[in-house]
Structures are given as C-alpha cells and as structure tokens.
Structure 1
Amino acid sequence: MGAYVLQISSLLPFIPKHALISRQFLPFSLPENRHFSIKLESHNSKITHSARKNDVGFDTAAYEADRLSRDAEARKAMAETSQKETQDESDPKAWKWVIRNRVWESMEAQNIAQFPRPVHHRIPNFVGAHIAANKLSELEEFKMAKCVKVNPDTPQKQVRFLTLNAGKKLLTPQPRLRTGFFSILESQMLSSSTIKEACTSVGVAKYGRAIGLDEKIKVDLIVIGSVAVDPKTGARLGKGEGFAELEYGMLRYMGAIDDSTPIVTSVHDEQLVDDIPVEKLLIHDVPVDIICTPTKIICTNTPIPKPQGIYWDKLSPEKLGQIKILRELKSRIERETGQKLPCGPSEKLPPTAQRRR
C-alpha cells in the first residue's frame, strides 16, 4: 500500500458558484463560515474514491441500523395508510391497495418471495430476480446505455451489479431520499472485493459520490421497481410511497432524462396483472416501456404519457416536509421564477411516518 499525504489548507470563506458544493453532501462537518480543501496524494498509486471516503471513516453498522429502523417505521406507516384507504371505498387510492395486497399475499402464499420477508409494503424480492436481471442486461437499451439509474431495492441488486460490472455509471437514489439525493458509482471507484458491497444500500452510501440538483448528467436508462405491472399498457404500481415518481420528476428538472428515456422494470411473472385501470392513473404515475421477468421480455408500447416533472399541486405539505432535497428544489424554482408554487391538499400522515429532519 502506498504512503499517503494529507494536506489541509484553509481557504477564503466563500465557495465559487461553479464549485456547486453543498454542506449536506459532505461526509464530515465543516465549521461555520469556514471551508477547507482536503488533498490526498499517493506516491505510487492513484487513490480511488472509495479510499478517500474510507479515510474519513464510514460507520457501516450505524448506517445499517438507522436504515433498518427507518424502513420498519415506513412500512408500519404504509400498513396504516393501506388499511385506512382500503376501508374507505370512496378513496381514489383504494383500488391500488387492493391490487398491491393481492400480489403480496399471492407471492407469500406461493413461496415465490425471497428475503426480506414478508414482502408486504416492499418492492418484493422474488424468486428468479437474478434471472430477470440477466435478461434485462441483454436488452439493447442496456448495452447502449452509459449511465443507468436503478432503484435501491433488493430485487434489483443484480441489475446494479451488472451495471457496474459492465463499466457503466450507476445512479442510485438514497432510500426514500432521506439522507440526500442520488449517488453515482463507477467501476473505477471500486475493487473486485468491494463491487458487490457497493450494490447494497450501505455500499451506495459508503462508496458512491453524492450529487446535487446542479449535476450535469445524462441518464440513458431507468430501471424501476414494481409491485404490479400491466404488460398490455405498461401501467405500474409501486409500494405506495411515491418516491419513484418524485425521483423521475427531479431528473426531468435536471434535464437528465426526457420522454425518450426508456423505463424498464424487473418482476416475477406473478406480478403481471391485467386490472390496473389506466383512466384512474394520476398524471405523475410513471409507466414502463419494457418488463423483464424470469421467463420473458415484454415491450409494452405504453400509450400512457410520461410525467413532465414534479406536479406541486399534487404534493402535500406533509410529504414535502419529509424530503429536504425536494424543499430545496421548490425554493430554488420559486426564487428563479419569482412565483410561489402551488401546494397539494394536506394529508394526515400516521405518526410513525414523520421523518427526522
């Protein structure tokens, strides 16, 4: 291992606009009104990004414990929301929960679900997920892509591995956008011993480079998780939190994607349904162009329009309050346009759904 020299130099108390550095994305705290540059040099080898992050330290156990705690909290909140909205037949979201619960219960009953279980209120990890991922990697859209956005859920772990293994850029959102925005990973950041870990939620935080809204990036392919999807229309249901739609809307704002960016999902054949009413989908619901299962590849030729951004009039103040990066985007747009954006109707979230800010 080469010797490394740590040089810390104090800079003037300002950051040039083009630097686009955000305090929230740094892996350590900076004193107020003071900035430092940190330079790591190797006398005989190039330092990888992962080495730099490990030098400042990453508490894997603490991150994982916090992630599991928040995931359990979110699933409990979704269970309460599901029960409330399903019992109210007039609720416009009730039909979605009926389909989701049917799929989750079927997967458990047929034992086609894998860890973590139960699959309720998750993007379900299914038997044959790695086979579906391999089929996805055979798509021309995947082969041609230089940067692939993949959801952070377990059934798409193999897709994340294949993306990095093929030398592509991997863009992955922080789970529920709670600790930041997106992270980018590239194969040169990793070694053969760390690439598999980098495909996990902990690994993304540990080895990835966090980006902000100003990142200039082009995403060539989006891989999205699903609970249920209609192969005839491309209509899709997620687990009910709406983060896939928010991530899509923010990428549209950044100019990273457009209507031509293909959207792919990988699911078990039992997750294919034929009763998602297209006329009841909302304007921000994201359809899929291609479905990969362990047995087949389906091109949906979806007629459903893709969202054009974030629809602020559909976003409740409670949901906005959960996500810091979304509040920052809203404030930025309001400053740039000089106009206040609309806000959606308030919703009474279960107490367990409140996020630490």
Structure 2
Amino acid sequence: MTDIDQAKQAVRERVWRRLIDGGGAPADSYGKIPGFYGTEGTAEQLAGLDEWRRATTVKANPDWAQLPVRARALKDGKRVYMAVPRMASPQPFYLLDPENLTLPPEEAAEKKGAAQVARRVGVEEVEPIDIVVCGSVAVNRSGARIGKGAGYSDLEVALLIEAGLVTENTVIVAPVHELQVIEDDIPETEHDFSVDYIVTPGEVIPCPNRRRPRGLVWGDLTPEKIAAIPVLAQRRPS
C-alpha cells in the first residue's frame, strides 16, 4: 500500500466512524459506500438542478445509497446506465430504459430488479452521458472524493472518458450525508476524478476544482485487477 493509499484509508476510517457515531448511517455501513439516512432527500435536491432537468442520460453506481436517485431518474424519463456489480461482465453496464420497464422504477433500479429487466450493454453501445452519479465515502468542498477503495467508479468513468461518452459537458455528482462532507484535503492520484456537485439531503454544494483523468491509467492497474474485469482484459495494451 502506497503512502497515498494509506492516507486515503485513514480518511475513510475517520468518516465511516464519524458518520455512524453521528447517527447518519447504520452501523453496518462501515467498509462500504454508506447507505446513509436521507437518501430520498438527495434525489429531491438533485432533481432541482437545471442540469438534471436537461439531462436525458444518467450513469450511476449500483449501491443502495443511490437507489432513490436511480429511481427518480427513471420516473423523470431518463435512461439510466447502471454499472454491473464489480464490472464482472464484458458488457459492464445495465441499460434501464423508462419506456421499456416491466417493473416499477423503484424495483427496476435495484440490483436485483436491474438484473431481471435491464439489458447489459458494452461501452460501444452507451450513449453520451449527461450526469454521472457516484457513490462516495468522503468528499470535500473542492470536489475531491474517495470511494470505498475498490476503484470501480474510477474505472467506469475512465472507460467512458476514453470512449468520448463522459465529456466536459458531463456533470458528476456525489449524493452523500452531510457528515461525509469534510474540510480536510483528500489525496488524489492520476486516475482520480472530482465531482461538480455534492448533494446532501439538505443542500447542493457546487465544487470549483474540476479534475478528470484522460482515460484509463494502466500503470495503476495490477495484472490481477485487469484479469478480473473482462472489459479491461479486452482493452489491455499489448
């Protein structure tokens, strides 16, 4: 583990404890993208943004904390690309199309529901993304964020940037509990991206320091990680 990895983990540990001890999330949220209390409020706050109203496509992670946002997107007529858990498929995204759902939006937006009714699509089938919704453990007001450490959000965004589907016009948002918003610096590496808005149950916080990678940073990926993710194994430079 590098010094930056250790520093990131220290931030995660501190925020998980702060969130749980502060009553912001259940005790079993430790070690995960927290399923914080007030997730429905983040969906309402996000729906108030002009960028949300204009959006037709949303890419979201599959964590429970972002379920209300995924369901709201479907109710608002937006196509949702939801990452297949652990990107464990050559087609690493579920496409949830509100015009073709056979389940209510709240059920279709769940992991189990998406697996039943959504079509799996490869990167080449994805439409340009208007909004990226990323699960986070901690964020600061400059827009730096940390996930739980598995790196899937970074990989998903990097893949879509390389494909020209996440662009300068794409807005990245982090729905979190207010206790996950910290004042500390968050260490960043070449593959990290920042968020344009932090969305809590009570407010929307614009973030000034946009940071995006140019694409996949192969030097940061172990052979084991590449082998475990089919879409990476297919694209690995020779």
Fold conserved (TM > 0.5)?
yes
Distance in 1 (alpha carbons) for counterparts of 2:170 and 2:105: 26
The Cα of 1:188 is off from its aligned counterpart by 1.6
Distance in 2 (alpha carbons) for counterparts of 1:239 and 1:177: 15
The equivalent of 1:187 in structure 2 is 98
The equivalent of 1:102 in structure 2 is 14
Distance in 1 (alpha carbons) for counterparts of 2:14 and 2:191: 23
Q: Secondary structure in 1 aligned to 2:3?
A: coil
Aligned pair 1:242/2:151, yes or no?
yes
**Aligned-residue RMSD, C-alpha:** 1.5
Change (3 A) 1:217 1:203: same
Which amino acid is 1:322 matched to?
Answer: A
Q: Secondary structure in 1 aligned to 2:120?
A: strand
Contact 1:290–1:298 (8 Å) recurs in 2: yes
The equivalent of 1:164 in structure 2 is 74
Distance in 2 (alpha carbons) for counterparts of 1:129 and 1:194: 19
Change (3 A) 1:321 1:141: same
The equivalent of 1:5 in structure 2 is none
- Deviating 4+ runs (over 4 angstroms): none
Change (3 A) 1:216 1:198: closer
Distance in 1 (alpha carbons) for counterparts of 2:157 and 2:201: 26
TM-score normalised to the size of structure 1? 0.64
Contact 2:68–2:106 (8 Å) recurs in 1: no
Distance in 1 (alpha carbons) for counterparts of 2:19 and 2:148: 14
Instruction: Point out which structure has higher relative CO (alpha carbons under 8 A, 6+ apart).
Output: 2
The equivalent of 2:86 in structure 1 is 176
Aligned pair 1:327/2:236, yes or no?
no
Name which of 181, 191, 212 aligns with 1:306: 212
Which amino acid is 1:274 matched to?
Answer: E
The equivalent of 1:206 in structure 2 is 116
Show the 5 A alignment for 1:57-72.
none
Contact 1:289–1:300 (8 Å) recurs in 2: yes
Name which of 249, 253, 276 aligns with 2:185: 276
Q: Between Structure 1 and Structure 2, how many residues are aligned?
A: 237
Show the 5 A alignment for 1:1-357.
85=1, 91-114=3-26, 117-179=27-89, 180-191=91-102, 193-231=103-141, 233-277=142-186, 280-302=187-209, 304-330=210-236, 334=237, 340=238
Distance in 1 (alpha carbons) for counterparts of 2:117 and 2:131: 22
Distance in 1 (alpha carbons) for counterparts of 2:58 and 2:183: 28
Gaps of 5+ in 2: none
The Cα of 1:163 is off from its aligned counterpart by 0.4
Gaps of 5+ in 1: 1-84, 335-339, 341-357
Q: Deviations over 1:278-326 (max 9, x none)?
A: xx41011110000111111110112x43111001111111111211111
Distance in 2 (alpha carbons) for counterparts of 1:235 and 1:301: 10
Distance in 1 (alpha carbons) for counterparts of 2:192 and 2:72: 27
Q: Secondary structure in 2 aligned to 1:149?
A: strand
Structure with the greater alpha carbon radius of gyration:
1
Distance in 1 (alpha carbons) for counterparts of 2:37 and 2:146: 19
